[in-house]
Amino acid sequence: MIFRERVGISQFRVAQAPALLVAHGLGSCVGIALYDPRPRLGALAHTLLPALRSGLENSRPGKFVDTAICAMVEELLGRGAKRERLRAKVAGGANMFEQNFATDEGVGARNARSARETLARLDIPLLAEDTGGSHGRTLEFDLATGAIQVRTIRGGATLLTL
């Protein structure tokens, strides 16, 4: 039986094949997956906010895009992943409620941008991305292959392998 672990909002989890990491119902939240294909070791974060607002104490790195990525890298390296083999995939960051002030970048878009910028800063290649739109997503990260299935409710269950 394959070990299937849920990644709740503001959490991240590290797992090794054979295992599935699942993040349910992401709206403006963004899911960030990091993967080292050699030991088939990876991590998935379900983050709420782009970055920690300055002056505030952070009790939970999984809540913020930047701190979640850094914490996942650290834990993956500690468990034997190699920095230069790490690669990333990102999904989520939707704008669930159509609003009139279109000039304002929504929190979903800011989450996705923060993920791209943090990954670029850490020199981790972003292999695939499914962000934006106005629909929710459920992510299933298969540690055996590194593939992520993105399910939405539009037209039944849409399967998109990043």
Binding site for other proteins (CB under 8 A): 8-11, 24-29, 48-49, 53, 56, 59-60, 63, 94, 96-97, 99, 107-108, 134-138, 153
Q: In the bound complex, what is the minimum distance in angstroms from residue 40's beta carbon to other proteins?
A: 26
Q: Is 95 helix (H, G, I), strand (E, B) or coil?
A: coil
* Catalytic pick among 15, 29, 49, 86: 29
Q: In the bound complex, what is the minimum distance in angstroms from residue 82's beta carbon to other proteins?
A: 31
| Residue 29 annotated to the active site | yes
When the beta carbons of 25 and 37 are compared against other proteins, the nearer one is 25
Contact residues for 57 (Cβ-Cβ < 8 A; gap 6+): none
**Nearest one of 134, 132, 161 to 148, comparing CA atoms:** 161
When the beta carbons of 136 and 146 are compared against other proteins, the nearer one is 136
Q: In the bound complex, what is the minimum distance in angstroms from residue 83's beta carbon to other proteins?
A: 29
What does each C-alpha distance from 26 to 57, 74, 91, 103 come to in angstroms?
Answer: 25, 24, 9, 23
Pairwise CA distance, residues 72 & 55, whole Å: 23
The residues annotated as belonging to the active site are 29
